[in-house]
């Protein structure tokens, strides 16, 4: 099993999940008949597997969400039940990617939590080392990563700033969208008009109703699939800024600490770690200390 988890550890997780859900009423009571039966045992197996492979700790109330997302995989692969699909998943590592892609949540927007981009701009201005390196560790469909690149272009007043952005995600589907850089107009309708004009090309013909980020902006980004739970990450770079926002909320405290210990050597001594608006690292005070609104630096 990936991430070096033993079968004994998996059994422990499974036992814990079973205890967690034993007192939860059946969520499908009174629900319309489903296309496929989805038992509590099936749900517990899903929770065990997604925890083992992606570190995600699924709440017991997510049963309906899990069903609606995984039923597409059953149809696509021709399985007649969740039991046969999960047995196939456990014996076929090639399906792990499809399984994880189906269950990961990808909520993002351009310049979401704008105070972070204002702080990043100040950080770029005051950091003398070039190039300035950024890791967007949960890039999803690319809006955050491109927002980082746009911020860099504005700080240095050029479409070729001395900045690089590594954009990674565990979900290969969203990374493909990100690398294409094509978005419906409604995704950018709240963006400043000057910013929109500077960084995007409006589509025509079959691309009418869409915009595409300029090639110069795409050139600043490198896209790569990275599972944060892997024991080794493929890069050896030290970054000046790491954006890992609204990701830790899906992990339990033990997994959060393990990830933060892994992130620490990848952040430069004067670098900043940008977290999500609902995330706090008070339990990791020996690793990081606060620099403001969900922004952290190395603990001294």
Which positions are catalytic?
69, 169
Joined together, the tokens standing for residue 165 give 């952005």
Q: Pairing relation of β-strands 210-213 and 200-202? A: antiparallel
- DSSP letter (8 states) at residue 244: -
Residue 269 and residue 239: Cα distance in Å, rounded? Answer: 9
Residue 55 and residue 252: Cα distance in Å, rounded? Answer: 8
Residue 247 and residue 273: Cα distance in Å, rounded? Answer: 13
Of 175, 177, 201, 171, the C-alpha closest to 188 is 201
Helix axes 96-103, 63-77, angle to 10 degrees: 140
């Amino acid at each position: 099993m990936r991430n070096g988890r033993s079968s004994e550890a998996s059994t422990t997780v499974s036992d814990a999940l079973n205890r967690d859900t034993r007192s939860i009423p059946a969520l499908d009571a009174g629900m319309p008949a489903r296309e496929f039966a989805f038992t509590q045992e099936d749900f517990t197996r899903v929770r065990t597997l997604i925890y083992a492979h992606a570190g995600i700790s699924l709440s017991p109330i997510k049963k309906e969400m899990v069903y609606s997302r995984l039923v597409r995989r059953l149809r696509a692969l021709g399985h007649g039940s969740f039991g046969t699909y999960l047995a196939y998943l456990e014996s076929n590592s090639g399906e792990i990617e499809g399984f994880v892609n189906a269950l990961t949540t990808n909520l993002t927007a351009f310049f979401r939590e704008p105070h972070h981009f204002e702080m990043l701009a100040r950080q770029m201005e005051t950091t003398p080392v070039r190039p300035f390196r950024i890791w967007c560790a949960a890039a999803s469909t690319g809006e955050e990563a491109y927002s980082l690149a746009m911020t860099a272009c504005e700080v240095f007043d050029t479409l070729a700033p001395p900045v690089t952005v590594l954009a990674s995600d565990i979900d290969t589907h969203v990374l493909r969208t990100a690398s294409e850089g094509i978005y419906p107009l409604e995704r950018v309708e709240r963006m400043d008009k000057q910013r929109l004009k500077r960084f995007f090309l409006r589509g025509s013909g079959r691309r009418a109703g869409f915009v595409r980020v300029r090639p110069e902006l795409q050139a600043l980004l490198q896209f790569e699939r990275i599972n944060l739970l892997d024991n080794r990450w493929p890069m050896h770079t030290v970054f000046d800024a790491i954006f890992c926002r609204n990701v830790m909320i899906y992990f339990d405290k033990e997994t959060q600490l393990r990830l933060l210990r892994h992130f620490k050597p990848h952040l430069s001594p004067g670098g900043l770690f940008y977290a999500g608006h609902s995330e706090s690292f008070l339990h990791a005070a020996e690793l990081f200390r606060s620099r403001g609104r969900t922004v952290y630096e190395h603990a001294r």
